[in-house]
Structure 1
Amino acid sequence: MPAIGWVFIILALALIVGSLLILRDSAHSMKISDEKMKKIQARKAEIEAEESAEDREW
């Protein structure tokens, strides 16, 4: 394989690894407000109640 092929492969791998590292570092920086968290938990409880009611019907 010509040298330019190896350069492209190394560049592609570096971009992939760099993107994954940036994604990992920024994963915990997104904070959810207390109000949104309460809405999420309420909706989750509602869905679980609906699913358990459907399970009891079977």
Structure 2
Amino acid sequence: MPLIGWVFILVAFALVVGSLFVLRDSANSMRISEEKMKKIQARKAEVEAEESAEDREQW
């Protein structure tokens, strides 16, 4: 393989690894306000209640 092929492969690999590191570093920096978290939990509870009701109807 010519040298330029190896350069492209190396650059592509570096971009993927670099993106993964950036994603890992920024994963915990996205804070959610308490109000929004309460809404999320309330909606999750609604969906779970609906799903359990549907499961009971099927049996």
- TM-score surpassing 0.5? yes
Instruction: Say which SS state the counterpart of residue 28 (structure 2) adopts.
Output: coil
Listed one character per residue, the Cα deviations across residues 4-56 of structure 1 (whole Å, up to 9, x for unaligned) are 11011001100110000000000000000000000000000000110111111
Aligned residues: 58
Root-mean-square deviation (CA, aligned residues, Å) is 0.5
Gaps of 5+ in 2: none
Runs of 4+ in 1 over 2 A off after TM superposition: none
TM-score w.r.t. the length of structure 2 is 0.95
Within 5 A, what are the aligned runs for 1:37-52? 37-52=37-52
Residue 19 (structure 1) aligns with: 19
Distance 1:9 1:55 in 2: 50
The percentage of counterpart residues that share the same residue type is: 79
